[in-house]
Amino acid sequence: MTIADVRETPPAIQQSRAKIWIRTVILAVFGALFTLALSRDMASGVFHWSWALMTFLPCLAIGFWMRRWVPMRVHLASQCITLSFDRIYFTLIMLLVLAKAVTGHVAGMAIWAAGIMCVILGLMAGRLSGICLRVRDLKIQHSFGPRQAGK
C-alpha cells in the first residue's frame, strides 16, 4: 500500500504530520461534543458507563485495525510520508454521524444515539492511534532521521 521514492516534495498539507494534526483536531471536537452529550445521557439515566465501554472498546480495536486501509506514500528524497483520502472510512463516519443525528431527534432512540456516539469515538480514536504507529513504523523502516527545524 505504500509507494516508495516519489522524487518531488509533496505540499505540507498532504504530509503525515499535517494530516495527523487535522485528524486529532476533528477527534477532539467530536470527543468534546459527544462527551458532553454522553454525560448528559448518563446523568439522566438513559445510558450507563458500562454500556459506553462495551461499545467503545471493540470499536477502538476495529478502528486500530482500519489503519491498514489508509493509503500512504513514502517520499525518500524529502523524508516524509503522505496520507491520501480514505473514502471507505469517510463514508462510514458520515453515515454514523447521520444515524446519530436522526436517532438523537426521535423519541425513545436516545440510547441508540449514545451508542452510536461511542462507536464513532472508538473508530476515530483507534484509527488515529493506528495511523500514528504505522507512520512511525514506516519512518523507522526507511531510516528517516529527526526533522530539521525549518524543513
Would 62 be classed as within a structural domain? Answer: yes
Average pLDDT for 50-58: 95
Average pLDDT for 22-33: 91
Mapped onto helix, strand or coil, the DSSP state of residue 58 is helix
Mapped onto helix, strand or coil, the DSSP state of residue 52 is helix
Would 95 be classed as within a structural domain? Answer: yes
**1 pLDDT tier (thresholds 50, 70, 90):** very low
Domain count, the chain: 1
Would 146 be classed as within a structural domain? Answer: no
Interior CA angle at 60 toward 54 and 62, to 5°? Answer: 105
Would 148 be classed as within a structural domain? Answer: no
Query: Using an 8 Å Cβ cutoff, are 82 and 73 in contact?
Result: yes
Instruction: Record the cell numbers describing residue 91, joined without a space.
Output: 463514508
Q: What is the pLDDT of residue 123?
A: 95
Q: Has residue 2 got a pLDDT over 70?
A: no
CA distances from 72 to 20, 44, 49, 62, 137 (A): 12, 44, 36, 19, 12
Count of residues making up the chain: 151
Query: Using an 8 Å Cβ cutoff, are 78 and 10 in contact?
Result: yes
Domain that holds residue 20: 2-141
More confident site: 68 or 2: 68
